[in-house]
Structure 1
Amino acid sequence: MAETIVDDRLWENFHRAVNMSSRELRKWLAVQGAGEITETEPDQAGSELGHRVADILGKRRADVTPDDVEVMRRVVDKVTDLRGGDTGQWEPTAGEDHWRHRLMNVGHDPLSP
């Protein structure tokens, strides 16, 4: 097995917290970057953290860098804080648009199982 710097727990929690695919996340970030007056380039639209998450989703576990590990921790913490509780306990939940959009900016759609 290839050596990795990501422990099993973080890897599993990250992939539970991030329930959008890289493609879905990039599409969401592009939509978020479209404004009434200006529109950013699709690959630059949305949050930098969201783009980092999408990049990590495209990597094999053995290719994750120390910076990626820090991003993974931040995302798990952020989603856990916003959703509340353990990552394994979440049910699809409707909430206010602002709350849902904050979660989707890092790859978690609270309406998805």
Structure 2
Amino acid sequence: MAEDPITTDPATEPESDALWDTFHRVVNMTSPELATWLRTSAAEENSEEVPDLAGPPVGRHVLAILQKRRTDLTDEDITCMREVIDEVNERLSTAPSDAAQRPEWRHALMSLGHDPLREGT
């Protein structure tokens, strides 16, 4: 059963706009890039996940949010957006000094929709 989109209260609309903008600044991968990454990261030598089920649940949720209009967000989407922003910021603030040589660090961020090697991040 699909969740109902959240109803926008005019009093909280600026907060909603700020969250939307921050999420799309933190999640710097496009939906096609993220979808490709999730399929690639989930592929194993002898098997491959169904494309719609590839990658971790949070990555799939980020992908679903990227494909929505702001007015179609659910409360669950809002919670996910906040958690992803916090998680990406935490991982970036505690980046290892040799992060460029640590693909697992980058890949964990990419599964959240953030590529730390992308220009402007």
Give deviations 1:51-87, integer Å, cap 9, x for gaps. 11011011111111000000001100110000129xx
**Among residues 11, 16, 38, which one is paired with 2:20 in the alignment?**
11
Give the root-mean-square deviation of aligned CA atoms: 2.0
Q: Distance in 2 between matches of 1:9 and 1:97?
A: 31
SS at match of 2:51: coil
**Among residues 66, 81, 84, which one is paired with 1:75 in the alignment?**
84
Q: Which portions of structure 1, spanning 4 or more consecutive aligned residues, are displaced by more than 4 angstroms?
A: none
Q: How many equivalent residue pairs?
A: 105
SS at match of 2:54: coil
**Among residues 18, 35, 57, which one is paired with 2:44 in the alignment?**
35
**Among residues 49, 62, 66, which one is paired with 1:53 in the alignment?**
62
Larger Rg computed on CA atoms:
2
Give the gaps of 5 or more residues in structure 1. Answer: 86-92
Q: Check conservation: 1:94, 1:110, Cα contact below 8 A.
A: no
The TM-score normalised by the length of structure 2 is 0.78
**Among residues 82, 107, 111, which one is paired with 2:113 in the alignment?**
107
Q: CA deviation at 1:37?
A: 2.5
Give the gaps of 5 or more residues in structure 2. Answer: 1-6
Q: Distance in 1 between matches of 2:93 and 2:68?
A: 28
